[in-house]
Amino acid sequence: MANKVSVGLLGFGTVGSGVAAIVQQHQQDLLHKLGTEVSIDKVLVKDITKKRDTGLPPDVFTAELDEVIGDASIDIVVEVMGGIEEAKQAIEQSLRAGKQVVTANKDVMALYGHELLQLADTEKQDLFYEASVAGGIPIIRTLEDGLASDRISNLMGIVNGTTNFILTKMKQENMSYEDALAEATALGFAEADPTADVGGLDAARKMVILSSLAYSTEVSLEDVLVRGMDEIRDGDVELASRIGYTIKMVGASQTDEDGIEVVSEPVFLPDAHPLASVNNEFNAVYIHGAAVGETMLYGPGAGSLPTATSVVADVIAACRNLLLEVNGKRQHAPQHERAIKPPDKQIAKYFHRLSVDDEVGVLTKVTAVYSGRGASLASVIQHPGEEEGKAELLLVTHRISRQQHLDITKDLEGLASMISHYRIAGEESV
């Protein structure tokens, strides 16, 4: 049994400092679980002169990457430096140097995860990435181990706390988008530049990671249909509530004989669906498996200590593999060839909000467009529009393909203006 496992940290920001705090404060627990000490012996920072409130000795801090990766005594490298290209290179160098690697970097894993996992297999090292999705929720380990015997058919999750916080405030407190975003920023739930969050890109990257793992195939960011919060129009949140739905920004994917569909977009969820009651900055992932049926994981999706907890859990897993001398034994090659569904195979119900001229016969003309594309309507509601001489139509379709939805949108040009549209998700689960 080794006297200790030595860890090198790349980065000492919000998550890195949280990792250090947990490792230092839980030494007795780690010793009990592993039978050996876990020690943070090197920390890469940009400025070694900066004063830090930490129990680590000053000489562990360095501004040179090679002092961490090149140190033969370092067993595990933890990448929490952020960014993409520099972090990717650091992970590659660490694996090639014979280090086990733990990363919390969703951007790197979404863009280069397949490549890096293959490198880990080649180098016979471990690469763990639990904290790259949903903060403190153990979703990666659940898919990789807990549900390893099952066949996952679909995933749907609220995996971005910023957008969920904003939508919660908009629904429960009737806040404007701008005011809700300002509060999220003030509370630290939103980045200074929230573009990736509110634009749906952050959730899309996480769905690339989850879908690749759940379906044992290669999913890339280009395969994901991405729509952001700018697609949500004034009044949509209230309208959804009026007819029994809640608008949520979700990442979703599903697989069947036609291939895989992956989206990151605002959707209508039935109020009775479990994800509809996930509020504020919390995350949740809803899973359907052939054997387990439906299950959901819920918890804090971000923050220093929740994310750091997932990182340290990966460190413990890497330590166990090292101590048992089984590191690098898990193979990550995909089982199935990549097959992405075309739009005519992506099936769902849709909500359409249209603005039309308030005149006799317009409803007949509009419904004829739908029937002309083979789409039937589950409900139609008409009410006065905001402009004089205009009316609004709220239509819910039966299940149609995304291609039908796109064709209907095009066919309506000149007859009606599409104010907003949403896929209706989750009705099969309530």
Report whether 101 contacts 92 (CB < 8 A). no
112 or 51, higher pLDDT: 112
- Percent over 70 (pLDDT), the chain: 99
Q: Where are the alpha helices (DSSP H) in 124-153?
A: 139-141
Domain ranges across the chain: 4-135+304-324, 139-300, 343-424
Band the pLDDT of 191: cuts 50, 70, 90: confident
Distance, in Å, from the CA atom of 158 to the CA atom of 275, rounded to the nearest integer, reads: 7
Mean pLDDT lowest among 165-169, 183-187, 349-353, 355-359: 183-187
Which pLDDT belongs to residue 212? 96
Both tokens of residue 206?
């996480």
Which pLDDT belongs to residue 429? 61
pLDDT at 167 > cutoff 90: yes
Which pLDDT belongs to residue 387? 86
Looking at the domain 4-135+304-324, which fold is it?
Rossmann fold (3.40.50)
pLDDT at 295 > cutoff 80: yes
**Average pLDDT of the segment spanning 109-113:** 96
Distance, in Å, from the CA atom of 19 to the CA atom of 304, rounded to the nearest integer, reads: 8
Distance, in Å, from the CA atom of 358 to the CA atom of 271, rounded to the nearest integer, reads: 31
CATH tag, 139-300: 3.30.360.10
Which pLDDT belongs to residue 331? 83
Report whether 2 contacts 35 (CB < 8 A). no
Which strand (E) or helix (H) includes residue 42?
strand 37-44
Band the pLDDT of 97: cuts 50, 70, 90: very high
**Average pLDDT of the segment spanning 355-366:** 94
Band the pLDDT of 187: cuts 50, 70, 90: confident
Distance, in Å, from the CA atom of 89 to the CA atom of 156, rounded to the nearest integer, reads: 31
CATH tag, 343-424: 3.30.70.260
369-373's contacts with Cβ under 8 Å and 24+ in sequence apart are: 369/408, 369/411, 369/412, 369/415, 370/395, 370/397, 370/408, 372/411, 373/400, 373/404, 373/407, 373/408, 373/411
pLDDT at 96 > cutoff 90: yes
Band the pLDDT of 188: cuts 50, 70, 90: confident
**Average pLDDT of the segment spanning 147-175:** 95
Report whether 77 contacts 99 (CB < 8 A). yes
Band the pLDDT of 189: cuts 50, 70, 90: confident
**Average pLDDT of the segment spanning 175-191:** 90
**Average pLDDT of the segment spanning 360-389:** 94
What secondary structure does DSSP assign to 235-289, as a single string? THHHHHHHTTEEEEEEEEEEEETTEEEEEEEEEEEETTSGGGG--TTEEEEEEEE
**Average pLDDT of the segment spanning 289-315:** 91
Band the pLDDT of 55: cuts 50, 70, 90: confident
64-68's contacts with Cβ under 8 Å and 24+ in sequence apart are: 65/10, 65/90, 65/93, 67/42, 68/8, 68/9, 68/10, 68/42, 68/43, 68/44
Which pLDDT belongs to residue 2? 66
Report whether 4 contacts 36 (CB < 8 A). yes
pLDDT at 430 > cutoff 70: no
Both tokens of residue 163?
């957008």
- Percent over 90 (pLDDT), the chain: 88
Which pLDDT belongs to residue 263? 98
Distance, in Å, from the CA atom of 221 to the CA atom of 89, rounded to the nearest integer, reads: 20
pLDDT tens, 321-342?
Answer: 999 999 998 888 888 898 999 9
Residue 289: phi and psi, rounded to 5, are: -120, 155
Which pLDDT belongs to residue 332? 87
Question: Does 51 participate in catalysis according to the annotation?
Answer: no
pLDDT tens, 196-227?
Answer: 999 999 999 999 999 999 999 999 999 999 99
- Mean pLDDT over the full length of the chain: 94
pLDDT at 1 > cutoff 80: no
For residues 379-396, one letter each, b for 16 or more C-beta atoms within 10 angstroms of the residue's C-beta and e for the rest, the string is eeebeebeeeeebbbbbb
Give the max Cα distance, the chain. Answer: 84
Q: Interior CA angle at 272 toward 167 and 202, to 5°? A: 35
224-226 and 259-270 beta bridge pairing: parallel
Distance, in Å, from the CA atom of 249 to the CA atom of 240, rounded to the nearest integer, reads: 14
Please tell me which residue in 42, 206, 248, 341 is annotated as part of the active site: 206
